[in-house]
């Protein structure tokens, strides 16, 4: 949820400015002709959002977040990090208490994009942790996702993501409460393992067995070692 979309295009929403913004209280912002960068300001918006941090003021006298600061909305969602002319841009942390989602990483032109760590907690004690590349708010590029249940069991996905789903060669691992692991390697198609691949089971000597996948399931488990 974006808490600050294009503030510079909605300056009419600004109703109060905590500090005086006369030009002599601002340092000239190098590289931005006609704009002055403040050391600290407190902005309040008509929708209840508040911003504390650096701002930049144009020659028309309109202040927008620019530099480093924190924006907080009425529902508790907040972003703390770098801004560029009213947009989240650079490295930042965004936290949504209602959904349990935390994003720490790169932002480009007010969107989540670049390398990041994303975590989300569930209602039953489970957590999801993703570390890798993001594009337009979706998992896109190399990454690893770890899902941990309340009882301590884990599911791990590793590989290349495209538009929020795994595509291409990757790995899927399950870890039980007692630490036993099963790993499946192969080609992901639309998020599911398909075709030829491999299976490794810690309870069977960690040998790498060739298997065939269909819609994410093993359709020909290896013969021997108690498989069939």
* Cα dihedral: 183, 129, 120, 48 (round 10): -160
Distance CA 198, CA 135 (A): 30
pLDDT, residue 37, reads 60
pLDDT in tens, the chain (228 residues): 223 333 333 333 333 344 433 333 334 344 444 445 666 899 998 899 999 999 998 666 778 899 999 999 999 999 999 999 899 999 999 999 999 999 999 999 999 999 999 999 988 889 999 999 999 999 999 999 999 999 999 999 999 999 999 999 999 999 999 989 999 999 999 999 999 999 999 988 888 899 999 999 998 776 554 443
Distance CA 74, CA 5 (A): 15
Phi-psi region of 187 (alpha: psi -120 to 50; beta: other; left: phi over 0): beta
pLDDT, residue 38, reads 63
SS3 label, residue 24: helix
DSSP 8-state symbol, 163: T
Annotate 72-121 with three-state secondary structure. Answer: ECCCCCEEEEEEECCEEEEEEEEEECCCCEEEEEEEECCEEEEEEEEEEE
DSSP 8-state symbol, 221: P
Distance CA 169, CA 184 (A): 11
Alpha-carbon torsion 159, 160, 166, 167, what sign?
negative
Phi-psi region of 65 (alpha: psi -120 to 50; beta: other; left: phi over 0): beta
Taking the whole predicted model, whether its pTM rises above 0.85 is answered as: no
Distance CA 129, CA 143 (A): 11
pLDDT, residue 89, reads 98
118, 160, 171, 194 from 166: Cα distances, Å: 16, 6, 10, 12
């Amino acid at each position: 949820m974006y808490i600050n979309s294009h503030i510079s295009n909605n300056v009419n929403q600004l109703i109060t400015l905590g500090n005086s913004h006369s030009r002599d209280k601002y340092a000239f912002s190098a590289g931005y002709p006609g704009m002055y960068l403040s050391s600290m300001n407190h902005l309040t918006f008509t929708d209840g959002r508040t911003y504390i941090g650096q701002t930049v003021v144009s020659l028309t006298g309109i202040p927008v977040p620019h530099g480093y600061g924190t924006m907080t909305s009425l529902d508790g969602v907040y972003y703390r990090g770098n801004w560029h002319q009213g947009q989240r841009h650079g490295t930042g942390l965004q936290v949504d208490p209602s959904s349990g989602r935390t994003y720490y990483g790169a932002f480009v032109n007010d969107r989540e994009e670049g390398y990041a760590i994303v975590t989300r907690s569930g209602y039953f004690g489970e957590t999801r942790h993703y570390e890798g590349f993001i594009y337009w708010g979706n998992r896109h590029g190399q990454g690893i996702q770890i899902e941990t249940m309340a009882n301590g069991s884990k599911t791990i996905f590793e590989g290349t993501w495209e538009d929020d789903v795994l595509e291409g060669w990757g790995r899927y691992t399950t870890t039980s409460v007692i630490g036993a692991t099963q790993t499946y390697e192969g080609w992901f198609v639309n998020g599911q393992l398909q075709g030829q691949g491999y299976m490794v089971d810690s309870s069977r000597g960690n040998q790498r067995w060739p298997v065939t996948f269909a819609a994410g399931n093993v359709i020909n488990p290896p013969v021997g070692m108690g498989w069939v």
